[in-house]
Amino acid sequence: MYTGLLHSHKLFVLLFLLHYVAKLVLLLLNRNEQLAKYSKITKVPEMILSFGFLATGIGMLVSGATLSTLLTVKVICVLASIPLAIIGFKKGNKILAFVAVFLIVMSYGLAEMNKKAKTGAKVDTSAIEDPIIAGKLIYANKCAQCHGQIGNGGVSGAKDLSLTKLTDDEKKLLIRSGKNAMPGFKEDVLTDADLNAVVQYVATLKQ
Ligand code: HEC
């Protein structure tokens, strides 16, 4: 459900942005007649796009996206861009229209930063010899908020780790690269030894 919302949200945002960039270009080039024509033709599609974009965003918030500071800033940027865009394009005010489109582009950057911020700082496991114990500590700090204490959490569309069919190597690749709402954990947060440890721990969650 969450992953479906995430994909549709991304698609709506992309189309919405392309549409507004097109409008902005016409405005900046003083193609007022073409802009009026384009706006007229795209009136209904624009309403559908705006609705889809907001509805999927709200859906994601309702179904468990945590409202971090970055995400709050993003939501404010998006909400602020709406009146700016309406006034900017209606009055043919290039600066307002530019700021509105810029705010939406910036929100996209904030969403990516928000995902990166989710990995946090490295957990110090240097004093722990047993990989399962080290893995458990890493898991509690880095994974449990989405996957839950025993692997079946399911926040933000997180998969049930007690049921996963992935091999250890596939898990490692996925943890490094991330997928959908799951951020990728790079070397600076998770060393190779930590990665091995957490994968060994995840194997113990299997029922
Ligand atoms: C922000 C939430 C979040 C965090 C934090 C997170 N995950 Fe995930 N994880 C997900 C989501 C969402 C998926 C499902 C991705 C997909 O296939 O769409 C997933 C999928 C996985 C899978 C694949 C399961 C399968 O069967 O496909 C593994 C393995 C996994 N996570 C391990 C981890 C480990 C280990 C950590 C900690 C180092 C971690 N995750 C941290 C959200 C998270």
Q: Is 135 in the pocket of ligand 1 (CB under 6 A)?
A: no
Q: Which two tokens stand for residue 2?
A: 């969450």
Nearest CA to ligand 1 atom 6: 143
The arrangement of secondary structure in 131-204, i.e. its CATH architecture, is Orthogonal Bundle (1.10)
Q: Does ligand 1 lie within 6 Å of residue 78's CB atom?
A: no
- Retrieve residue 158's tokens: 């997180």
Whether the model clears a pTM of 0.85, i.e. scores above it, the answer is no
Among 167, 163, 156, residue whose Cα is nearest residue 1: 156
- pLDDT for position 37: 95
Ligand 1 centroid–CA 69 distance in Å is 22
- Three-state secondary structure readout of 108-158: HHHHHHHHHHCCCCCCCCCCCCCHHHHHHHHHHHHHHHHHCCCCCCCHHHC
Q: Give residue-wise pLDDT tens across range 23-38.
A: 999 999 999 999 999 9
Give the pLDDT band of residue 62 (cuts 50, 70, 90). confident
pLDDT digits (tens, 9 = 90+) for 192-206: 999 999 999 999 998
182 CB near ligand 1 (under 6 Å)? yes
The closest alpha carbon to 135, from 82, 171, 102, belongs to 171
Query: What mean pLDDT, rounded, does the chain reach?
Result: 89
CA-based Rg of the chain, rounded to a whole angstrom?
A: 22
The band of 134, judged by pLDDT with boundaries at 50, 70 and 90, is very high
Percentage above 90 pLDDT, the chain? 54
Which pLDDT score is estimated for 65? 65
What integer pLDDT is reported at residue 110 of this predicted model?
83
Task: Determine if ligand 1 sits within 6 Å of the CB of residue 162.
Answer: no
